[in-house]
């Protein structure tokens, strides 16, 4: 099992691979910590990383993998904080599949992301 610590709900493919989303107050707190409304300062980033890692440790329980993703400036501090708590940060690896179809005389291109696995850091 892998805790989803991103702003997006786990896809069907990810759920099938063992990813689970936090729920209720945990999900709300997580989204708040992953969101930056103002230009973040280093101390604010580190504080959020610590709080997210504490949340992950509590929610993940014995499941030690945590899927992360989001603001690049948050990922490195978050990786460090997760590892310091005995958790393993992973990133989702997806393949983009493009599909084109004609709709009302126009070609519409869509991208579908196919989950293929996790990259451990």
Q: How many other C-beta atoms lie within 10 A of the C-beta of residue 15?
A: 15
24-34 vs 42-60: helix axis angle to the nearest 10?
160
Q: 90 forms bridges with which residues in the sheet?
A: 67, 120
Give the per-residue pLDDT at 21: 97
CATH number of this structure's domain 2-92:
3.40.50
What pLDDT sits at residue 27? 96
Per-residue model confidence (pLDDT) at position 112: 83
Q: At what angle do helices 72-84 and 42-60 cross, to 10 degrees?
A: 50
Q: What pTM, to 2 d.p., does this model score?
A: 0.86
Per-residue tens of pLDDT for the chain, all 121 residues:
999 999 999 999 999 999 999 999 999 999 999 999 999 999 999 999 999 999 999 999 888 999 999 999 999 999 999 999 999 999 999 988 888 888 898 999 888 888 999 999 8
pLDDT at 52: 98
The pLDDT value given to residue 103: 87
Could you write out the DSSP letters of every residue in 56-87? HHHHHTT--EEEE-S-HHHHHHHHHHHHHTT-
Predicted confidence at residue 42, as pLDDT, reads: 95
Q: How far apart are CA 112 and CA 89, in angstroms?
A: 24
């Amino acid at each position: 099992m892998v805790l989803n610590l991103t702003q997006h709900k786990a896809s069907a493919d990810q759920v099938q691979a063992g990813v689970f989303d936090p729920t209720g107050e945990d999900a709300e707190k997580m989204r708040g910590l992953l969101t930056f409304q103002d230009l973040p300062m280093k101390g604010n980033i580190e504080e959020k990383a610590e709080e997210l890692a504490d949340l992950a440790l509590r929610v993940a329980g014995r499941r030690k993998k945590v899927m992360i993703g989001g603001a690049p400036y948050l990922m490195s501090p978050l990786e460090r904080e997760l590892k310091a708590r005995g958790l393993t940060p992973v990133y989702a690896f997806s393949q983009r599949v493009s599909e084109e179809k004609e709709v009302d005389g126009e070609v519409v291109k869509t991208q579908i992301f196919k989950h293929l696995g996790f990259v451990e850091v």
